[in-house]
Amino acid sequence: MPNMSMQKTPMPAQAPEVRNKNFDEVTLGYTPEMAVLEAQRCLQCKHRPCMKGCPVAVRIPEFIAKVAQGDFLAAYEIITSTNALPAVCGRVCPQENQCERECVRGIKGESVAIGRLERFVADYFMEYGTAASKRAEPNGIKVAVIGAGPAGLSCAGDLARRGFEVTIYEAIHKAGGVLVYGIPEFRLPKAIVEREIDSLRALGVKIETDMVIGRALSLDELGEMGYKAVFVGSGAGLPRFMGIEGEGLLGVYSANEFLTRINLMKAYKDEYDTPIIRSKSVAVIGGGNVAMDAARCAMRLGAERVYIVYRRGEEEIPARLEEIHHAKEEGIEFRLLTAPTRLLGDDQGWVRGMECVKMRLGEPDASGRRSPVEIPGSQYEMEVDSVIMAIGTSPNPLIRTTTEGLQADRRGCLIVNEEMATTKPGVYAGGDAVTGAATVILAMGAGKKAAESIANLLLPSPGSGENPA
């Protein structure tokens, strides 16, 4: 029986005034009854428009049909045939710009809540499913993956499923990339990331942490160790600053540092020694997911006022809709069409305020968004005792500067062809290291594509009789 409700089945969440003081997950997920009800909103369109919006081509109508029948474990099998991290993607993908944007139900009402259903199925499996060992017959060919973020993990998983002997080299002490050091616990519980990584280990993927490639080992040394191909998924973890006066003051953070201290180094927990400044009035500069996460963390650390300062308007804010909505509910104040021009310090070298200028929207720029134009004479001061810069990141230069033959563009992003092959033979790359800061699912899609290219390179074509190992 189809459910013709125009609205998505609501998902329970912690009350805003409760959750803005804790780091527990904000949204609580569907019950099985809610999931079935929501799945019954899917019209099972023959032309499957939702799938076209998914960078890893999850078989969306098929998995939703299983949810509607109450066969949640079969739904999980369908999702994981193309997506290695469904509990993560169900929580953090910008569905409104991808699968849900294409959903026919979205024309006259709200689209089917595809993300919430994906999350439900993945969580249900973690609770009740048992992972069957899906180890492929080993082919004896070694491949190295650099970076254990979504790009590296998805590439490694796909290669392991094809029988390759895969080792991931990760610079920090934990696998997960931004999923563990950037996105906060209240949006993506770290236990869930660990469970998803464990399922990759179960496929035979080895993960070596505390290994900075370009320092501990070079790319060429990996070749000497017998790796027949390398995938570089080293992300874009180098923070950008605005280049304005006062950015060296105490109390000014990059969002990367602020979020790493909180999420990876657990500065919000009393039993951890990680230092963090607890401020009264915090300005976060930027309008993406990173800015929302930093602002909501600052609020949870006890700030009385937290501002998002963004130079364009509401329509141009790039963060996921749900994050903007949750941030507002939690009391974050939005200062839109506003740009900082100078940070002001006290005589001890601490930030005490920020000079801003008001903006208006002009003509669209290269990104297609209307560009911000300064309104002359509109300067004013905001009183803040912490400023967090969340205006973007670039790829870390370490790997490209220590590897001969690996070319990057002027933004420092590695250059790849359609097969995700870099300019150095046998070396592939994908994710934020290639695109600059983007999304989890795009990074995963790139990792998958590279895995396919590596398999095409290293596995003998059927009937050739060759053995490249």
Which residues contribute to the site for ligand FAD (CB under 6 A)?
A: 92-94, 146-152, 169-172, 177-178, 182-183, 211-214, 233-235, 237, 259, 289-290, 293, 320, 396, 398-399, 431-433, 437-441, 443
Query: Considering the complex, what minimum distance in angstroms separates the CB of residue 245 from ligand FAD?
Result: 26
In the bound state with ligand FAD, the residue whose beta carbon lies nearer, of 235 and 251, is: 235
SS3 letters across 337-353: CEEEEEEEECCCCEEEE
Instruction: Assess contact for 348 and 291: CB atoms under 8 A.
Output: no
Query: Considering the complex, what minimum distance in angstroms separates the CB of residue 441 from ligand FAD?
Result: 6
Instruction: Assess contact for 396 and 234: CB atoms under 8 A.
Output: yes
Report CA torsion sign: 448, 453, 459, 462.
positive
Q: In 3D, which of 192, 165, 162, 158 has the Cα closest to residue 176? A: 192
In the bound state with ligand FAD, the residue whose beta carbon lies nearer, of 356 and 429, is: 429
In the bound state with ligand FAD, the residue whose beta carbon lies nearer, of 37 and 211, is: 211
In the bound state with ligand FAD, the residue whose beta carbon lies nearer, of 444 and 458, is: 444
In the bound state with ligand FAD, the residue whose beta carbon lies nearer, of 219 and 356, is: 219
| Helix or strand (DSSP H, E) at 73 | helix 72-80
Provide the token pair at 462: 């059927």
Provide the token pair at 164: 């390759």
User: Residue 278's beta-bridge partner residues?
Assistant: none
Query: Considering the complex, what minimum distance in angstroms separates the CB of residue 340 from ligand FAD?
Result: 20
In the bound state with ligand FAD, the residue whose beta carbon lies nearer, of 77 and 220, is: 220
In the bound state with ligand FAD, the residue whose beta carbon lies nearer, of 239 and 340, is: 239
Query: Considering the complex, what minimum distance in angstroms separates the CB of residue 236 from ligand FAD?
Result: 6
Q: In 3D, which of 388, 105, 350 has the Cα closest to residue 260? A: 388
User: Residue 387's beta-bridge partner residues?
Assistant: 252, 283
CA distance 406 to 463: 34
Query: Considering the complex, what minimum distance in angstroms separates the CB of residue 351 from ligand FAD?
Result: 21
List, in order, residues 6 or more apart from 161 with CB less than 8 Å away. Answer: 134, 136, 203
307-311-312-313 Cα dihedral, nearest 10 degrees: 30
CA distance 391 to 437: 11
Query: Considering the complex, what minimum distance in angstroms separates the CB of residue 150 from ligand FAD?
Result: 4
Residue whose pair of structure tokens reads 């109450």 in the numeric block: 70
In the bound state with ligand FAD, the residue whose beta carbon lies nearer, of 36 and 153, is: 153
Query: Considering the complex, what minimum distance in angstroms separates the CB of residue 91 from ligand FAD?
Result: 8
In the bound state with ligand FAD, the residue whose beta carbon lies nearer, of 382 and 444, is: 444
Query: Considering the complex, what minimum distance in angstroms separates the CB of residue 416 from ligand FAD?
Result: 13
DSSP H helix total and E strand total for the chain: 18, 16
Provide the token pair at 209: 């942490």
| 38-to-53, 97, 127, 279, 448 alpha-carbon distances in Å | 20, 20, 20, 42, 30
In the bound state with ligand FAD, the residue whose beta carbon lies nearer, of 92 and 122, is: 92
Instruction: Assess contact for 220 and 424: CB atoms under 8 A.
Output: no
Helix axes 150-161, 190-201, angle to 10 degrees: 30
Number of C-beta neighbours around residue 405 at 10 A? 12
CA distance 104 to 260: 39
In the bound state with ligand FAD, the residue whose beta carbon lies nearer, of 167 and 396, is: 396
- Which residue's Cβ has the minimum distance to ligand FAD? 149
Query: Considering the complex, what minimum distance in angstroms separates the CB of residue 153 from ligand FAD?
Result: 7
Query: Considering the complex, what minimum distance in angstroms separates the CB of residue 83 from ligand FAD?
Result: 13
Query: Considering the complex, what minimum distance in angstroms separates the CB of residue 420 from ligand FAD?
Result: 12
Instruction: Assess contact for 438 and 432: CB atoms under 8 A.
Output: yes
